[in-house]
Amino acid sequence: MKRQIRNSVFETNSSSVHAMAILNETDYHLYQEGKLKLDIYKGLVEAKDYESHGVWLEEDVTSKKINGETYYAVAVYGHD
């Protein structure tokens, strides 16, 4: 089997991810501050529009700089 290595690729087990978003730096900071939330049915929403469907047990974040701007891949999964 040929091994392929891809740089700066965010991979996750799709059977366990309940929500994923790609955020620019501004939205990522709003997400960290709790002003934006990841909803498993609606994606990224303002906190006032968020509907809780359980508690997230895990969160994975990776970032990549593209043309001088940083983007963040945020995946949450494992809610009860």
- Reported as half-sphere exposure (CB side, CA atoms, 13 A), residue 30 has a value of 14
Judge whether 71 and 27 are in contact, CB under 8 Å.
no
Between CA 62 and CA 41 the distance in angstroms is 22
* Per-residue confidence in pLDDT tens, the chain, 80 aa: 565 555 555 555 555 556 778 899 999 999 899 898 877 777 778 888 877 766 666 778 889 999 999 999 888 776 55
Strand partners, 25: none
Name the residue ranges covered by the structural domains of the chain. Answer: 17-77
What pLDDT shows up at residue 33? Answer: 92
Between CA 39 and CA 14 the distance in angstroms is 16
What pLDDT shows up at residue 17? Answer: 57
What pLDDT shows up at residue 37? Answer: 84
Between CA 55 and CA 78 the distance in angstroms is 8
